[in-house]
């Protein structure tokens, strides 16, 4: 077990709705904390507001009862919807705001990149801010000088280095802030959503830098809405919802559960008016539906349920050679399968007259794993040309079924979850042979 770098104990933060607190900047609080290696962040005085019924409803718990321990060198991703409390958590850990309840122990120097605007002094130049931040982190002048050129070139602000940062664009400001946070070698790197502000090349460099920090044994806390970034960078993920921890564990698993709740399920879609329906002058979609075999779109589909995917569409031109092609995606964005009507007996390879058609694709039970699946529809002409394409035309959930668990209570890994024929044979009975020999 590595040493604990961050220990959060029952952290809670209540805000008055509509009231913006005046934040201290990272600079203020880190300077005040001087260079102590172990800091305890907690509310030292004052009663928690909002307990009385008269004030109820005006207060919001931005964070409630959040506890975790993070070992040195762990890279933690924090995910969740807008307003879930992610930034609040990071602000408490980097001492920009105090918790209303609970406390956090932080062991080591913290380099934080939170919202743009925190961390730098607007009147000072880029050069002065770099030096100041280094000093706050407890670095010697020579150390800062050694890093200086790297920081400036990483941020790409060479021409503006002697300009006050209040004249920087948002992007320049964020790039410099990230460069400072990442290059000054804090023990704990805290980054909130920086990837949103840069171009693709800068995002890639940020990810590389955070990966370096994580690999060189630094502790990383990273908030992002980019699940691919979280998954590739982090060794662990926490999902916050309404200020509370919903899940804490391996990134792939936590992300998959989180994404499953973000897509709203869409088991049926009808476009009664052909003129308003998706499509073009060759084909118009009329209806899309997924339902259990012999059931309704509102009925549950479990890993064991055979189900159908059905489309109705208008063919607008005589003698068209059409076929549908379905891509079924899972939550990880993997195409689990592509279905085409090669086994269809009547209309395959026959020209379609104008009119309304219905295609029904039968999917056996015990094929898909549990989770949310999305269907992309392609309408293909002459077996080669895609004439219409619709992403996420249907979104449906395959539930786990108790009877399919067989005593195993964690999620089965894999894109599919087939029930396969299997034999086990007892070939040699050791005990009997031993008795005979003895």
Ligand X SMILES: Nc1ncnc2c1ncn2[C@@H]1O[C@H](COP(=O)(O)OP(=O)(O)OP(=O)(O)O)[C@@H](O)[C@H]1O
Nearer to Mg ion, 92 or 324 (CB): 92
Nearer to ligand X, 85 or 102 (CB): 85
Determine, following the binding rule CB under 5 A, whether residue 87 of this chain makes contact with Mg ion.
yes
Q: Which does 15 bind (CB under 5 to 8 A by kind): ligand X, Mg ion, none?
A: ligand X
Helix, strand, coil distribution of the chain in percent, nearest 5: 25, 35, 40
Determine the distance from the C-alpha atom of residue 108 to the mean position of all C-alpha atoms in its chain, rounded to a whole number.
27
Q: What is the dihedral of CA 385, 388, 392, 393, to 10 degrees?
A: -130
Are 358 and 311 in contact, with CB atoms under 8 Å apart? yes
Shortest distance, position 83 Cβ to Mg ion, whole Å: 8
Q: Which does 60 bind (CB under 5 to 8 A by kind): Mg ion, ligand X, none?
A: ligand X
* Residues 6+ away with beta carbon under 8 Å from 192: 86, 87, 90, 113, 114, 115, 223
What is the pattern of x (binds Mg ion, CB under 5 A) and - over residues 30-59? ------------------------------
The two tokens of residue 381 are 């002409």
Cα Rg of the chain (Å, integer): 29
* Residues 6+ away with beta carbon under 8 Å from 308: 289, 290, 291, 292, 293, 360, 361, 362, 363
Please report which helix (H) or strand (E) contains residue 60, including its range: strand 59-71
Nearer to ligand X, 85 or 186 (CB): 85
Write out the E strands in 230-306: 236-241, 244-249, 268-270, 283-292, 301-302
Are 27 and 95 in contact, with CB atoms under 8 Å apart? no
Nearer to ligand X, 45 or 82 (CB): 82
Q: Which does 218 bind (CB under 5 to 8 A by kind): Mg ion, ligand X, none?
A: none
Nearer to ligand X, 88 or 129 (CB): 88
Residue labelled with tokens 């009507």: 341
Q: Considering only 83-91, 135-143, 229-237, 290-298, which stretch makes contact with Mg ion by CB under 5 A?
A: 83-91
Determine, following the binding rule CB under 6 A, whether residue 258 of this chain makes contact with ligand X.
no
Residue labelled with tokens 């909002």: 50
Burial 165-183 (b: 16+ CB within 10 A, else e): beebeeebbbbbbbbbbbb
Nearer to ligand X, 98 or 310 (CB): 98
Shortest distance, position 87 Cβ to Mg ion, whole Å: 3
CA angle 34, 40, 44 (to 5 degrees): 105
Q: Considering only 84-92, 309-317, 337-345, 391-399, which stretch makes contact with Mg ion by CB under 5 A?
A: 84-92
Shortest distance, position 247 Cβ to Mg ion, whole Å: 18
Shortest distance, position 291 Cβ to ligand X, whole Å: 35
Nearer to ligand X, 58 or 150 (CB): 58
* Length of the chain counted residue by residue: 438
Nearer to ligand X, 15 or 160 (CB): 15
Q: Considering only 86-94, 150-158, 288-296, 415-423, which stretch makes contact with Mg ion by CB under 5 A?
A: 86-94
Cα 79 to Cα 90, 135, 259, 315, 438, distances in angstroms? 12, 32, 10, 44, 63
Nearer to Mg ion, 87 or 94 (CB): 87
3-class DSSP assignment, residue 157: coil
Instruction: Give 220: exposed, middle or buried? Use CB within 10 Å, 0-12, 13-18, 19+.
Output: buried
Beta bridge partners of 7: 69, 105
Shortest distance, position 15 Cβ to Mg ion, whole Å: 13
Considering only residues 51 to 110 of the shown chain, the ones binding ligand X according to CB under 6 A are 60, 62, 80, 82-88
Q: Which does 84 bind (CB under 5 to 8 A by kind): Mg ion, ligand X, none?
A: ligand X
Considering only residues 9 to 28 of the shown chain, the ones binding ligand X according to CB under 6 A are 15, 19-21
Residue 353 CB: number of other CB atoms within 10 A?
11
* Residues 6+ away with beta carbon under 8 Å from 201: none
Q: Which does 62 bind (CB under 5 to 8 A by kind): Mg ion, ligand X, none?
A: ligand X
Determine, following the binding rule CB under 6 A, whether residue 275 of this chain makes contact with ligand X.
no
Q: Considering only 87-95, 138-146, 259-267, 396-404, which stretch makes contact with Mg ion by CB under 5 A?
A: 87-95
Nearer to Mg ion, 233 or 324 (CB): 233
Shortest distance, position 334 Cβ to ligand X, whole Å: 26
Shortest distance, position 195 Cβ to Mg ion, whole Å: 13
Shortest distance, position 254 Cβ to Mg ion, whole Å: 18
Shortest distance, position 27 Cβ to ligand X, whole Å: 19
The residues of the shown chain that bind Mg ion, judged by CB under 5 A, are 87
The residues of the shown chain that bind ligand X, judged by CB under 6 A, are 15, 19-21, 60, 62, 80, 82-88
């Amino acid at each position: 077990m590595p040493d604990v770098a961050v220990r959060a104990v029952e952290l809670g933060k209540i805000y008055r709705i509509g009231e913006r607190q005046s934040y201290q900047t990272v600079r203020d609080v880190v300077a005040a904390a001087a260079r102590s290696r172990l800091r305890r962040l907690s509310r030292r005085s004052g009663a928690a507001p909002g307990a009385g019924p008269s004030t109820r409803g005006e207060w919001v718990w931005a964070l409630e009862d959040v506890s975790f321990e993070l070992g040195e060198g762990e890279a933690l991703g924090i995910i969740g919807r807008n307003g879930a409390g992610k930034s609040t958590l990071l602000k408490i850990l980097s001492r920009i705001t105090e918790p209303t309840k609970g406390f956090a122990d932080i062991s080591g120097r913290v380099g934080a990149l939170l919202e743009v605007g925190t961390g730098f002094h607007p009147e000072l130049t880029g050069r002065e801010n770099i030096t100041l931040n280094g000093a706050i982190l407890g670095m010697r002048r020579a150390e800062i000088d050694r890093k200086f050129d790297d920081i400036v070139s990483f941020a790409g602000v060479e021409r503006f280095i002697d300009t006050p940062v209040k004249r920087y664009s948002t992007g320049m400001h964020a790039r410099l802030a990230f460069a400072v946070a990442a290059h000054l070698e804090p023990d704990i790197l805290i980054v909130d959503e920086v990837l949103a502000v840069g171009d693709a090349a800068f995002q890639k460099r940020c990810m590389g830098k955070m990966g370096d920090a994580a690999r060189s044994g630094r502790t990383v806390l990273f908030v992002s809405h980019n699940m691919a970034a979280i998954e590739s960078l982090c060794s662990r993920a926490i999902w916050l919802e309404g200020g509370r921890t919903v899940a804490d564990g391996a990134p792939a698993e936590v992300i998959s559960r989180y994404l499953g709740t973000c897509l709203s399920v869409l088991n049926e879609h009808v476009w009664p008016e052909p003129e308003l329906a998706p499509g073009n002058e060759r084909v118009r979609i009329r209806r899309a539906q997924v339902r259990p075999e012999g059931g309704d779109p509102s009925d549950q589909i479990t890993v064991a349920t055979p189900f159908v995917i059905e489309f109705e569409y208008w063919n607008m031109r005589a003698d068209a050679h059409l076929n549908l092609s379905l891509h079924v995606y899972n939550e990880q964005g993997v195409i689990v399968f592509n279905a085409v009507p090669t086994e269809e007996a009547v209309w395959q390879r026959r020209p379609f007259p104008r009119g309304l058609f219905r295609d029904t694709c039968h999917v056996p039970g015990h094929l898909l794993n549990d989770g949310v699946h999305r269907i992309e529809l392609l309408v293909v002409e002459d077996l080669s040309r895609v004439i219409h394409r619709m992403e996420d035309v249907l979104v449906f959930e395959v539930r786990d079924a108790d009877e399919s668990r067989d005593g195993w209570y964690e999620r089965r890994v894999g894109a599919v979850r087939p029930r396969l024929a299997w034999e086990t044979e007892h070939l040699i009975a050791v005990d009997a042979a031993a008795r005979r020999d003895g």
